[in-house]
Amino acid sequence: MSTIDTRSPILSARGVRHSFGQTEALRGIDLDVHPGEVLAVMGPSGSGKSTLLHCLAGVLVPTRGSVTYGPSAGRQPVEISALSEPKRARLRLTDFGFVFQFGQLLPELSAVDNVSIPMLLGGTKRSEARRRSADMLDRLGLEGLGAKLPGELSGGQAQRVAVARALVTSPAVLFADEPTGSLDSLGSENVLTIMLELVREFGTTVVMITHDARTAAYADREVIVRDGVIGAGYRVSP
């Protein structure tokens, strides 16, 4: 159990502001995310949680401020917000993983092919990609379901396929936007337990958006975003 993490942050946001037209979604965010940490971002609807996640992941470029990604030793930190879109896309593909609330699987692809896609995009051979995908599906308790289409899976199973796809490339950071938002409490617990078990095993850092206090309880730390700023204090979970 940690109190104050003194390691170099893997993600560091400084003075991040972002506007959609006249609407200012983020109004100066300073945030450090440390390696291996599971960070829950909470807040009411429209508070700017998703915008913050998108800025951290290089999906959106902040209107002002910077986001720096400092991967493990041996690689220079990069200012994500200064990269071009193709470079940010490459970074998202190689270093980050994503899980969303719903609708993220390609409906015509089998579970195993859905999981293979990030590896194929990275240049892995298809046979190797399928083998690793099948292994990852097994790890997530989806043995024998690799040939199924997303439409033939339950909500929880489909979400685990999405987790498998996000983790199969061993990303440094996993961004999860309401990953259990469409599941019942049992399914939600199931997915979270297995996801966090794996990220801890891989040493993956997690930034997870949630509305749900029970989901946030799985995190090491939680921050609350309100009106585009991080709430007065954030606490380290016990």
Partner 1 sequence: MNRGLLKLAVVGSRSSYGRLTGITGGVAVGVCLLLLLWGGANGLNARDDRGAWLRETGSPSVSIPTTAGDPTASGPATPVPLTAATVLMRANPVEVFRDQLINRRDFAALGSTTVKIPGIASPPAPGEYYASPALQHLIETTPQDQLGDRFGQFVGTIGEAALPGPDSLIVVTGATETELRQSGHAFLVSAFTTNPYGASAAAYSTVLLIGAIAVFFPVLLLISIVTGLGAAQRRERFATLRLIGASPRTISRIAAVETAVPSLIGAVFGVVLAAVLRPATAQITVNGTRMFEADLATGWEAATAVVVLVVTASSLVAAYRTSREGIGPLGVTRAMQERTPNAWRMVPLLAGLAAMITAVLLIRVLEVRVPWLESPLLIGGFALTLVGIVVVGPWLTQLVSRMGLRQARSAAAVIAASRIQRTPVATFRSVSGLVIAVFVVSVFAGASSIIQEAEAPAARPGLLQPASLHATVAAGSSQDQVAEAARRAGQLPGIRSATIGYGPAALNQRDAGPEIFLRAEDAPGLGFEDIPETEIVAVDSSFLHYWTTQPLVLTRAPAQNLDGLVPVVIVVAADGTPEAMDRARTALDGSGVTAIPATSPLDIKLQSSARLVQGLAVLAYLGMFVAIAIAGLSLAVATASAVLDRKRVLGLMRLMGMPVSVLRRIITREAAVPLLTVLLLSIALGFLVAWLMVTGINDTYRVTWPATDYFAALGLSLVLALAAVGSTFSLIRAGTAITATRFE
Name which of 40 and 105 has its Cβ closer to partner 1.
105
Q: Is 98 helix (H, G, I), strand (E, B) or coil?
A: strand
Name which of 92 and 221 has its Cβ closer to partner 1.
92
Name which of 169 and 221 has its Cβ closer to partner 1.
169
236 contacts partner 1 (rule: CB under 8 A): no
- Give the integer Cα–Cα distance in Å for 121 and 49: 29
Q: Is 31 helix (H, G, I), strand (E, B) or coil?
A: strand
Q: Which of residues 122-181 bind partner 1 (CB under 8 A)?
A: 125-126, 149, 151
Name which of 34 and 116 has its Cβ closer to partner 1.
116
- For residue 73, the minimal CB distance to partner 1 (Å) is 23
- Residue 17's nearest CA partner among 59, 48, 58 is 48
Name which of 93 and 236 has its Cβ closer to partner 1.
93
> 96-99 and 38-42 as β-strands: parallel, antiparallel, unpaired?
unpaired
Query: Which H or E run includes 213?
Result: helix 213-216
229 contacts partner 1 (rule: CB under 8 A): no
Binding residue for partner 1 (CB under 8 A) from 13, 41, 70, 98? Answer: 98
Binding residue for partner 1 (CB under 8 A) from 16, 41, 78, 91? Answer: 91
- Give the integer Cα–Cα distance in Å for 175 and 217: 17
Q: What is the largest CA-CA distance in the chain?
A: 51
Residue 102 carries which side chain, given as an amino acid letter? F
Name which of 111 and 222 has its Cβ closer to partner 1.
111
Residue 14 Cα distances to 84, 154, 176, angstroms: 19, 40, 21
83 contacts partner 1 (rule: CB under 8 A): no
Q: Is 79 helix (H, G, I), strand (E, B) or coil?
A: strand
- For residue 217, the minimal CB distance to partner 1 (Å) is 27
- For residue 166, the minimal CB distance to partner 1 (Å) is 8
Contact region for partner 1 (CB under 8 A) — 29-37, 76-84, 111-119, 189-197?
A: 111-119
78 contacts partner 1 (rule: CB under 8 A): no
Number of residues that bind partner 1 (CB under 8 A): 34
Is residue 155 within 8 A of residue 100, CB to CB? The reply is no
- For residue 80, the minimal CB distance to partner 1 (Å) is 13
53-90 as b/e: b if 16+ CB within 10 A: bbbbbbbbbbeebbbbbbbeeeeeebebbebeeeebee
Q: Which residues bind partner 1 (CB under 8 A)?
A: 20, 50, 54, 59-60, 86, 89-94, 96-98, 100, 103-110, 113, 116-118, 120-121, 125-126, 149, 151
